[in-house]
Homo-oligomer: A and B are copies of this chain.
Amino acid sequence: MDLDLQLYSVRTDLAVEAKEMAQGPQKMPIPGVNEEVEESDGIKVTRLGVANAAGSQAIGRAIGNYVTLEVPGLRDGDTGLQQRVSDVFAREFEKFMTKIGIGKDSSVLIVGLGNWNVTPDSLGPLVVENSLITRQFYELVPDQVSPGYRNVSAIAPGVLGLTGIESSEVVQGIVDRTKPDVIIAIDALASRSLERINTTIQIADIGIHPGSGIGNKRRGLTQEILGVPCIAIGVPTVCYASTIVNNVLEMMKKHFGGEGAAHTKEIMGLLDEISEQERLALVKEVLEPLGHDLIVTPKEIDEFIEGIANIVASGLNAALHDAVDPGNVGAYTH
């Protein structure tokens, strides 16, 4: 009964990464994909739209809207920066909802995916714990709810190994009974790049797709399945050992003069010439038979996860409820 039920995806879930890979080093524009970048104060916001099938095919991402916050400084645990990221996240999330047509009165079900016993996988449940929940008041005393709040409920459905039930089944059961207008699903992702771990947050309106990222969400949480829109918030918290190796070989190439430079070739042999995909395949070919393509996370993961969960939960509370603003948002999280 010792079955490995986990299927890991090696794809990245970050649309900005997928776009960069598709563009190549020349950074050519991609038809059907539009992009808006804004950077200030150490926070880079990229708003990406995949407008049609051509764009979708080009970058291998579903048609939809993607917003990414990249904040390398988050790794240093600066509390002031965390507060600013939370504010930017709240503002972007509000804009995002408006853009995709989610009104101020829409009721929301927050879904915290992942396993609360596995620190790098506990982001979703932690956000749920720190979200401001109001649905009970709308159900029980609807006429006493103060203005400025929205109907919000939340669930951390657990993972298949803990419950024996797919997350998506739990969520569908709840959606059938409670009829929210929109789902917001929070999930920890696997990154294609060491430097994105715990420094990047992605918002997307395409839901959670089977087999994307790491883990067991095979049936997915999408509008097709659930009948309501599903906004996914993802943060990379782990990567594969092979990813690290591949990243470093890429950095080496740059370090030694770039691809094709004589010096690079001398030092790195064919490792310089082959494509990133081929090189990754090579690294995996070496590591996997030994069982060494471990999924790893930074040593400081406990603190990182707590920090990011706080950013996301505070940001959601401010974005979802007009009555919550940066001055009082701390009162709702732990």
Give me the interface of A with B, judged by CB distance under 8 Å: 1-3, 5, 75-76, 79-80, 117-121, 128-129, 133-137, 139-141, 144-146, 149, 151-156, 158, 160-165, 169-170, 172-178, 194-195, 197, 238, 241-242, 244-245, 247-249, 251-252, 255, 265-272, 282-283, 285-287, 290-292, 294-303, 306, 330-331, 334
A176 and B174 in contact, given A133-B163, A137-B3, A299-B238 (Cβ under 8 angstroms) = no
- Bound-complex Cα distance A119 to B303 (A): 10
In the assembled complex, the CB of A82 is this many whole angstroms from the nearest CB of chain B, namely 9
Partner of A169, one of B133, B172, B177: B177
Task: Report whether A133 and B164 are in contact in the complex, using a CB–CB cutoff of 8 Å.
Answer: yes
CB-nearest residue of chain B relative to A265?
A: B269
The 4 closest A-B pairs by CB, nearest first: A173-B173, A135-B164, A269-B269, A153-B164
- Bound-complex Cα distance A306 to B146 (A): 28
A172 and B163 in contact, given A118-B299, A118-B302, A302-B119 (Cβ under 8 angstroms) = no
- Bound-complex Cα distance A248 to B280 (A): 12
Task: Report whether B251 and A286 are in contact in the complex, using a CB–CB cutoff of 8 Å.
Answer: yes
In the assembled complex, the CB of A201 is this many whole angstroms from the nearest CB of chain B, namely 19
Partner of A1, one of B145, B169, B176: B145
- Bound-complex Cα distance A87 to B292 (A): 27
Residues of B within 8 A of A244 (CB): 241, 244-245, 296
Residues of B within 8 A of A267 (CB): 269-271
- Bound-complex Cα distance A139 to B80 (A): 27
CB-nearest residue of chain B relative to A134?
A: B164
Task: Report whether A266 and B255 are in contact in the complex, using a CB–CB cutoff of 8 Å.
Answer: no
In the assembled complex, the CB of A234 is this many whole angstroms from the nearest CB of chain B, namely 16
- Bound-complex Cα distance A76 to B4 (A): 11
Task: Report whether A155 and B165 are in contact in the complex, using a CB–CB cutoff of 8 Å.
Answer: yes
Partner of A170, one of B1, B149, B174, B265: B174
In the assembled complex, the CB of A216 is this many whole angstroms from the nearest CB of chain B, namely 9
Task: Report whether B118 and A5 are in contact in the complex, using a CB–CB cutoff of 8 Å.
Answer: no
* Interface pairs (27), CB distance under 8 Å: A1-B145, A1-B149, A5-B136, A75-B291, A117-B302, A118-B299, A119-B119, A136-B160, A136-B161, A139-B164, A154-B162, A155-B158, A156-B158, A170-B174, A173-B178, A176-B176, A195-B290, A238-B299, A247-B292, A267-B270, A267-B271, A268-B268, A268-B269, A268-B271, A269-B269, A295-B298, A301-B301
Task: Report whether A255 and B286 are in contact in the complex, using a CB–CB cutoff of 8 Å.
Answer: yes
- Bound-complex Cα distance A197 to B295 (A): 12
CB-nearest residue of chain B relative to A165?
A: B153
